[in-house]
Structure 1
């Protein structure tokens, strides 16, 4: 398993995290063919898995998932300025995304509106050998509703190594994830609850991910940034 989530209190992670298997969809007109979704039913995160998710001394900052909140104090007057003091002067504000209530996954294909399911980002357009060096995404749930971060436990470099005898010249893609799941290879989905004001910093170029508002009656808007941030730049909520 490649996923690592920074946490000081396994019980706090367990309290806001569940797991499920995954599946692909091919006949749902609201999703792209082959989209990867959690299969359910959701199960409580076990103590053993929480322990395995703990980072090791070898976990690079850029591959780590952190669950965070903005510092206490006055709210920033402009969302664009949120990252001004987080250690990367070149961080980019990507904007906001409004998600409807009770959505299994939230990210649409902006060309036709169909949802894409679990996916990997490609903002940095990195090849296989440097995919782990991409910028991490900061996301803050602006509310009004609760949302989830969905994560896959196997990163896209490992998926490419499994699928392709010589992945060196490849550019890892969501299609590789879909092929991997179609072949029945092992992948577990996690969903992590993010209440309004909660957020994450995660290597979304590397890890299969999406948002979700499943089971919640209120919509949720998220704000996003990309940057190379050091570990612990924001306070942890777990």
Structure 2
């Protein structure tokens, strides 16, 4: 009863966008205007997913999508006209940047020869492990140093192949399979809008977790989906008893979407050769290949990334090491 009353008191408050996670677009990107859409809220995947198999409590964006109005755009986008005095906010900024074609060209050439659409994911990833192919990845890592918030060794999470036409693309297996065994499509379960937990930090520490840089290596636009609220924002919107019972926040996204299904999802276009930077341990998100005709292919790293024109390395390093408190 307490939970229901708490939800009713806040339902109108969370029926429209709030200012939260901020989007920062690199100035050299093309097509700045038509890059963001917002949904009509979220819905349980069972009502919309067609033939796709979703987890029982999965949520996906509720269509129709529309362009944000001017007020919503201001809520979503950081002001790039002047450097942020606090620098890049690790837990509450999303960025989009461009990787130059010559940097990606050696790897793209290899990928086209591999014809990923005709290979199993396992075979494809094995082929990428050859010394020649690893050499093609080095120029990309070297270029990405300009987006390091401070010197560190990022973790290459890997290369991901996803089918076109997916409302959301993150999936898991219904049961573990032996190494080397082909994946049974009937065992694939899509998780919908979700929270990463690479570091399993508690809610109050999530803003210090490493963020993700994900490069679109495909031939078509792909879309990053997110709710523009940090995990701390979600916890503030929920009953304190629910938050107390989930110290790592792993279920807060599901609870928020259940309580406030009218709160919109943001869809962000990431064109071929572009990368997004996002705090996926600190916000509800997924990706979509819904309008694609070809395989969705990405390269993903975990580290401390940011766009250089809003960086303040000293403040960021203090936040990561815990020397100062940040509300992001």
Structure 1 and Structure 2 fold alike (TM over 0.5)? yes
Distance change in 2, residues 1:180/1:230 (3 Å): closer
Deviations 1:83-129 (A, max 9, x none): 34243432110001111111100000244421111111100111011
Distance change in 2, residues 1:186/1:42 (3 Å): closer
- CA positional deviation for 1:55: 2.6
Within-5 A mapping of 1:65-76: 65-71=94-100, 73-75=102-104
Residue in structure 2 matching 1:170, options 209, 230, 247:
247
Where structure 1 has 5 or more consecutive residues not aligned to the other structure, the ranges are: none
Deviations 1:146-174 (A, max 9, x none): 2111111222221123224164670011x
Distance change in 2, residues 1:14/1:208 (3 Å): farther
For the residue of structure 1 that corresponds to 2:256, the secondary structure is: helix
Match of 1:25 in 2: 45
For the residue of structure 2 that corresponds to 1:154, the secondary structure is: coil
Q: Distance in 2 between matches of 1:12 and 1:155?
A: 27
Within-5 A mapping of 1:39-58: 39-55=62-78, 57=84
Alignment partner of 1:96 is 2:119: no
Match of 1:183 in 2: 259
Residue in structure 2 matching 1:199, options 266, 275, 284:
275
Tell me the TM-score normalised to structure 2 length. Answer: 0.64
2:169 touches 2:190 (CA, 8 Å); kept in 1?
yes
1:150 touches 1:191 (CA, 8 Å); kept in 2?
yes
Q: Distance in 2 between matches of 1:38 and 1:99?
A: 19
Q: Distance in 1 between matches of 2:87 and 2:76?
A: 11
Q: Distance in 2 between matches of 1:80 and 1:106?
A: 27
Distance change in 2, residues 1:26/1:59 (3 Å): farther
Match of 2:225 in 1: 150
- CA positional deviation for 1:230: 3.8
Distance change in 2, residues 1:13/1:164 (3 Å): farther
Larger helix fraction of residues: 2
Distance change in 2, residues 1:211/1:233 (3 Å): farther
Larger strand fraction of residues: 1
Within-5 A mapping of 1:114-129: 114-129=189-204
Distance change in 2, residues 1:193/1:135 (3 Å): same
2:227 touches 2:283 (CA, 8 Å); kept in 1?
yes
Alignment partner of 1:7 is 2:25: yes
**How many corresponding residue pairs?**
232
Alignment partner of 1:61 is 2:89: yes
Of 21-30 and 189-198, the range deviating more from structure 2? 21-30
